[in-house]
Structure formats: C-alpha cells, structure tokens
Structure 1
Amino acid sequence: MFSVYILYSELHNKHYTGFTSDLEQRLNSHNEFGKDWTSRYRPWKLIYKKEFENKNLAMVYEKWLKTGAGRDFIKTLPH
C-alpha cells in the first residue's frame, strides 16, 4: 500500500506533498532534526492522505497535486 500525503507547517505556513509506503515512519522523519528541506519547517502535521495499492498510481496522483489544479485543491483542505 502506498500513501500520498500532504503535510502542513502552521508555524511557517508551508505545505509539503509526498508519497511513501510507510506513512508513520515518513512523518516522523520529516519532524526530526536533519539537513533536508522539511526539517527547516518543523513541526509538520498530516492534513490529508490518500492510499493506493499501486505505486505508479500514487506517483501520478502526487504529481497532479503539484500542478496548479492540485495546489488549488490543497488550498481547500482544512488546516
């Protein structure tokens, strides 16, 4: 199972979109100290997830969320 997810950093008013096969572990890694982009905008909270049985479908959906239409959809999500 693959999850496409959207995180929100209330402190920095930032969104992050990704996909993973282990959502709990991935959320923990985003909120830990590190040198990657997401570690600079901690804390993150999960505001949306959608699960797929197929990795390719998850990747297509994640890519769509990063388009203009996808970003418009993200703006409608409650934070």
Structure 2
Amino acid sequence: MIYLGLSNNPERRFQEHNSGKGRATKPYAPFRLIYLEKIGTHENARIREKYLKSGVGKEFLKKMP
C-alpha cells in the first residue's frame, strides 16, 4: 500500500499514523517512510500531492529505490 499525505509537520503525522490515531490508516500500520518532499506553499503541495496520487505519480513512486 502506498499512502500519500500532506502535512506541515510530517514527523508528527507519521507518528500519529503508526500509533493508530487515524481511523482510515490504523489497519495498515506500521508504516515506513520512503519519500518526503518539502514544497514551498500549501497550494503547490496540494498540486504535487494530486499528481503523486495519479496513476503516473504512483508509477513514479513505485520506481523509487
């Protein structure tokens, strides 16, 4: 499973997911971080997140080492 998310504090959000605080992600824990991007603005981050959630974006992520 590939999980993509947007957060202004990714370390905290990652910890929340692994501790079972998110109902939608709880059954899939534990997670491991494989890729992190820092984007300048919230608007640009949403655009990038939307791309990575697309078919082409997921293929890009699957090719990551």
State the TM-score, normalized to the length of structure 1: 0.76
What is the aligned counterpart of 1:29 among 10, 16, 19?
16
- Unmatched segments (≥5 aa) in structure 2: none
State the TM-score, normalized to the length of structure 2: 0.91
- In structure 2, the partner of 1:49 is 36
Moved over 6 A (4+): none
Query: Could you list the per-position Cα deviations for residues 50-74 of structure 1 after superposition, in whole angstroms to 9, with x for gaps in the alignment?
Result: 1012000000000000111101101
% same residue:
34
Partners of 2:22 and 2:40 in 1: CA distance: 31
Please provide the CA RMSD for this pair: 1.2
- Tell me which protein shows more strand as a share of its residues: 1
- Unmatched segments (≥5 aa) in structure 1: 1-13
- Tell me which protein shows more helix as a share of its residues: 2
RCO comparison, higher one (Cα < 8 Å, 6+):
1
